[in-house]
Amino acid sequence: MARILIIEDNQANMQLMVYLLSAFGHKTVEATEGELGLAAAQRELPDLILCDLQMPGMDGYEVARRIRLEPQLQTISLVAVTAYAMAGDREKVLSAGFNGYISKPINPELFLGQVEAFLPLDKRSESSKPPNLQS
């Protein structure tokens, strides 16, 4: 089980990510804009942060840069969730401080594995079991 902060302005995407992660026992914290996400990161010190790139106000790139400026947040896994799949974006995402990215639209069958690839083994769910058999 991991504590995962999700920074996402789109309500449908947020609900889907919360649902998929909660179903496998992860605890989620939700922030609907960048400023709130930064505050939540400092308050919660989560195991992992999922962050949308395109948000009004502070975008995901700026969120990443600010997170990496905070000594206590520098080692947290930070993953972009982005609809942008254009060449060159990967470098831009990584140079902003993200560890990697997951492409939108979110694929419900792949999402858990995509997220858990960024978690240490002891924070992953036993994802081969269906959710209703989790202890």
Q: Shortest distance, CB of residue 89 to Mn ion, whole angstroms? A: 15
Nearest to Mn ion of 54, 72 (CB atom): 54
Tell me, by CB under 5 A, how many residues bind Mn ion: 5
The CA distances from residue 113 to 1, 19, 23, 126, 128, in Å, are 13, 14, 13, 11, 10
* Cβ at position 86, least distance to Mn ion in Å: 16
Asked if 52 touches Mn ion (CB under 5 A), the answer is yes
Which tokens sit at 31? 């922030």
116 makes contact with Mn ion (CB under 5 A): no
The nearer residue to Mn ion, 54 or 74, going by C-beta atoms, is 54
Strands 77-82 and 48-52: parallel
What minimum distance in Å lies between the beta carbon of 128 and Mn ion? 32
Please give the residues from 7 up to 36 whose contact with Mn ion meets the rule CB under 5 A: 9-10
Residue 34 or 46: the one with the smaller Cβ distance to Mn ion is: 34
Name the segment binding Mn ion (CB under 5 A); options: 16-24, 49-57, 71-79, 83-91: 49-57
- What residue ranges bind Mn ion (CB under 5 A)? 9-10, 52, 54-55
